[in-house]
Amino acid sequence: MVKSLQGGTTTVSIFAGSSVIAEYDNGAAPGSPSREYIYNPAGGSTTGLLAMISGGATTYYHQDHLSVRLTTDANGNILSQEGHYPFGEAWYESGSGNKWFFTSYDRDSETGLDYALARYYNSRTGTFCSADPLAGHPDDPQSWNRYPYGRNDPIDITDPSGQGWLSWLLDIGIGAAVGWIAPEVLPSVFAWGGTTSTVFYEGAQIAQSSATFYAASAGTAAFGAGVGAEAKAATQPLGPQMPPTPTPTPASQNPQQTPKKNCPPKFANFFKQAPIFNDLAKQLNTKALFLMAQSSWETGWLGPHAQDLHMMFGMTNAGKNDLSYSSFQASANAYSKAYSPYVSNTSTMDQFTAGLKNVPPHGYNTANSNYYKNITDQQQYVKQHAADCGVTVN
Amino acid sequence: MRYKQCVIGLFCLGLLPGQVPLCGKARQTTAGRHWEETATETIWRGEYRNCDYGYYVLLPDHIIGHSSKAPNPNDGFSVDLEKSDSTLPTSDKARRNISAWNHYNAAELPTLKAIADNELRLDAGSKRDYHILSRSSVKMATLPAIMVKASYNAEETTVYEIKIIAYRPHGTNNLGDMVYVLSLVTNEASRAEDTITFNKILAGFRLTALPLGSCTNDRQ
């Protein structure tokens, strides 16, 4: 849910995923939305907007592969026509205004900026106003720049959520092609071929970095429809490299930060402890992001059991049952006391995990061979949920 | 009648809330400590127990489980198959070993398949010439699981690995989704022998109810 104030009108927008489905002006009753939006579920949020119902009148949207070009009423009369240059600057516009001007973004009539869910987009410069909350991938240099729109390829690539061009995959289900590239059948096919692992890896890699894949897979939307979640699972773990960042900043201090539109209580509870993570990071001269990644992995985002025990890092007592503390602060203090020699003065995740590996005798975690990679990957989920919860962890 | 049988069955399996298993193999063990802290680690005899993550693993008589010393997390244990009955600290690079570990599904992956894919992606990214030999659906205790057999090269030898990845969604008391992994790392010469030990440990994997508040890993 997003609340906005424009020209004296307060509008509350209700979202389903990245698509607005209803808007309420000036406190309209829940059963009487000012505008309702209808989508073609197979079309995704970019091209899937079909119609709007407002005051009993229906407006139909007609789009090309990028944006709305024409709106009509129920009798087929043209209400508006519009076009834009590749990066969204207005080319022509006639008739009653359509705020869905560029791709699926809601254009703010006062600032001219496009609301892209995770951040704002400026069509005049062709860049976002703030960095992509999703980090780039180390093997994909172009993704290191987190401000361009759609990898500077606005004709072929859309970014419905403002969270990296890859996010379009999730919306229209084409991403399932990624899930399809690395399903269970492949290992058996390639079992002795010597490339199974490569297939798994590159299956996700293609989705992450190749615009060629993007264009080629457009025709597979129907094939992949409905299983975008699998694509999300297959692609999310890539891109764990996070730039150094110290302190989460409340959204209220950052006007470009997304409001708390999708912050389940589980994550809200976790980020409530951000001040403790920040203090601990300062004390250890490390990054709050690293501590949050480790904590969320060890405690299931400070889940109910961790809440019961005020346990932030899964530390144990003799006999190996979890320790119990009087407060999360006490838990943080215990962590600092036990692990300060190993994780202090670390500015990269590699340094942080190297410190954990030095915990005697064989490291912080001796059973899970992928533990240090797990918490490295976990950074991106911390950042993603932090953005949803209005907390910045760069 | 069926209800009573069901309750008795759950009782024996240790799946009733707050209950510690009393039937079957677990009953053969004696009450009290089955773990010991050495100067550098924790060793387990008879069973490895993890009340926080709701499971335990029965260990064959000649097998010693090793895990990190408190206050490091209790996220699993390892057995060095080259000296499986030794209480000396395990090497972190034991070429033949069995490990079991647990974690929350903190990455919020939506399916067992996605969890397994992620695990294999990490393996593939860190192991040379990694090949998946087979992948199949199995059970770990009562949980659906995926078993992957793979090979890779380490120090000019071929290493064989079996990994069983199980997913426990929406645990009792809404404690969160959990993932359990049991793995065998062995070589060609010891593959058959080690697989037998691995299967014994797999057969000893048991679920327990998830805790409310503090819990203990001592036998009840």
Residue B99 sits in a domain whose CATH number is: 3.40.1000.10
Average pLDDT over residues B171-180: 76
Residues A339 and A369 in one domain: yes
Range of the domain at A314: 249-392
Q: Which two tokens stand for residue A120?
A: 């704002």
Which pLDDT score, from 0 to 100, does residue B199 have? Answer: 97
Q: Answer yes or no: is B193 within a domain.
A: yes
Instruction: Note which residues in 168-197 of chain B have CB less than 8 A from chain A.
Output: 173-177, 181, 183
B87 touches chain A (CB under 8 A): no
> ipTM, 2 decimals?
0.84
A377 touches chain B (CB under 8 A): yes
Q: Answer yes or no: is B40 within a domain.
A: yes
Q: Answer yes or no: is B216 within a domain.
A: no
Which pLDDT score, from 0 to 100, does residue A29 have? Answer: 84
Residues of chain A with Cβ-Cβ distance to B90 below 8 Å are 362, 366
Range of the domain at B69: 2-207
Residues A352 and A218 in one domain: no
Q: Answer yes or no: is A59 within a domain.
A: yes
Residues A278 and A368 in one domain: yes
Binned at pLDDT 50, 70 and 90, residue A42 comes out as low
- Tens digit of each residue's pLDDT (9 = 90 or more) over A200-225: 222 222 222 222 222 223 322 222 22
* DSSP run (H or E) holding A179: helix A176-181
Residues A196 and A259 in one domain: no
- Tens digit of each residue's pLDDT (9 = 90 or more) over A173-202: 333 333 333 333 333 322 222 222 222 222
- Tens digit of each residue's pLDDT (9 = 90 or more) over A115-169: 887 788 888 888 888 888 777 766 677 777 888 888 787 877 777 777 765 444 4
Q: Answer yes or no: is B13 within a domain.
A: yes
Average pLDDT over residues A233-251: 35
A320 touches chain B (CB under 8 A): yes
For the entire predicted model, the pTM comes to 0.56
Number of domains into which chain B is organized: 1
Confirm if A39 and A45 have CB atoms less than 8 A apart. Answer: yes
Confirm if A147 and A157 have CB atoms less than 8 A apart. Answer: no
Residues of chain B with Cβ-Cβ distance to A369 below 8 Å are 99, 183
Which pLDDT score, from 0 to 100, does residue B151 have? Answer: 97
Q: Tell whether the model's pLDDT for residue A252 goes beyond 80.
A: no
**Chain B nearest CA to A234, separation (Å):** 7
Q: Answer yes or no: is B65 within a domain.
A: yes
Residues of chain B with Cβ-Cβ distance to A337 below 8 Å are none
Residues of chain B with Cβ-Cβ distance to A188 below 8 Å are 134-135
Instruction: Return mean pLDDT, chain B.
Output: 84
Residues A297 and A381 in one domain: yes
Q: Which of A100, A128, A156 is the last residue of a domain?
A: A128
Residues A11 and A71 in one domain: yes
Q: Answer yes or no: is B215 within a domain.
A: no
Q: Answer yes or no: is A242 within a domain.
A: no
Q: Answer yes or no: is A265 within a domain.
A: yes
Binned at pLDDT 50, 70 and 90, residue B23 comes out as very low
Residues A333 and A378 in one domain: yes
Partner residue facing B99 (CB), from A197, A359, A367: A367
**Chain A nearest CA to B12, separation (Å):** 23
Q: Tell whether the model's pLDDT for residue B145 goes beyond 90.
A: yes
Residues of chain A with Cβ-Cβ distance to B131 below 8 Å are 191-192, 194, 196-197
Q: Answer yes or no: is B86 within a domain.
A: yes
Q: Which two tokens stand for residue A209?
A: 């970095």
**Chain B nearest CA to A148, separation (Å):** 27
Which pLDDT score, from 0 to 100, does residue A237 have? Answer: 31
Residues A164 and A220 in one domain: yes
Which pLDDT score, from 0 to 100, does residue A330 have? Answer: 95
Residues of chain B with Cβ-Cβ distance to A355 below 8 Å are none
Percent of chain A with pLDDT over 90: 25
Q: Per mean pLDDT, which of A226-235, A385-394, B56-65 is the most reliable?
A: B56-65
Residue showing tokens 């229906």: A58
Degrees, nearest 5: CA angle A77-A81-A84: 165
Residues A151 and A176 in one domain: yes
Average pLDDT over residues A12-16: 82
Helix A196-209 to helix B112-126 angle (10° resolution) is 100
Query: Lowest-pLDDT range, A160-164, A239-243, B130-134, B164-168?
Result: A239-243
Q: Tell whether the model's pLDDT for residue A236 goes beyond 80.
A: no
Q: Which of A200, A235, A270 is the last residue of a domain?
A: A235
Confirm if B152 and B171 have CB atoms less than 8 A apart. Answer: no
Q: Which of A128, A156, A191 is the last residue of a domain?
A: A128
Q: Answer yes or no: is A357 within a domain.
A: yes
Residues A85 and A155 in one domain: no
Q: Tell whether the model's pLDDT for residue B128 goes beyond 80.
A: yes
Residues A122 and A150 in one domain: no
Q: Answer yes or no: is A241 within a domain.
A: no
Q: Answer yes or no: is A72 within a domain.
A: yes
Taking the C-alpha atoms of residue A320 and residue B164, their distance in angstroms, rounded to an integer, is: 24
- Tens digit of each residue's pLDDT (9 = 90 or more) over B102-121: 999 999 898 999 999 999 99
Q: Answer yes or no: is A165 within a domain.
A: yes
Number of neighbouring beta carbons within 10 Å of residue A191:
17
Number of domains into which chain A is organized: 3
Q: Answer yes or no: is B133 within a domain.
A: yes
Query: Lowest-pLDDT range, A85-99, B116-130, B146-160?
Result: A85-99
Higher pLDDT, A110 or A357: A357
B95 touches chain A (CB under 8 A): no
Q: Provide the strand spans (E) within chain A.
A: 2-6, 9-16, 19-25, 35-39, 49-54, 57-63, 68-72, 78-84, 90-95, 106-107, 114-115, 120-122, 127-128, 249-250, 391-392
Average pLDDT over residues A233-254: 35
Q: In three state form, how does the secondary structure of chain B look? A: CHHHHHHHHHHHHCCCCCCCCCCCHHHHCCCECCEEECCCEEEEECEEEECCCCEEEECCCCCEEEEECCCCCCCEEEEECCCCCCCCCCCCCCCCEEEEEEEECCCCCCCHHHHHHHHHHHHHHHCEEEEEEEEEEEEECCEEEEEEEEEEEECCEEEEEEEEEEEECCCHHHCCCEEEEEEEEEECCCHHHHHHHHHHHHHCEEECCCCCCCCCCCEC
Q: Answer yes or no: is A293 within a domain.
A: yes
Give B101's strand partners.
Answer: B76, B181
Partner residue facing B37 (CB), from A313, A318, A363: A318
Taking the C-alpha atoms of residue A216 and residue A81, their distance in angstroms, rounded to an integer, is: 30
CB pairs under 8 A between A and B: 214
Binned at pLDDT 50, 70 and 90, residue A260 comes out as low
Residues A261 and A388 in one domain: yes
Taking the C-alpha atoms of residue A314 and residue A310, their distance in angstroms, rounded to an integer, is: 10
CATH number for A312: 1.10.530.10
Partner residue facing B52 (CB), from A305, A368, A381: A305
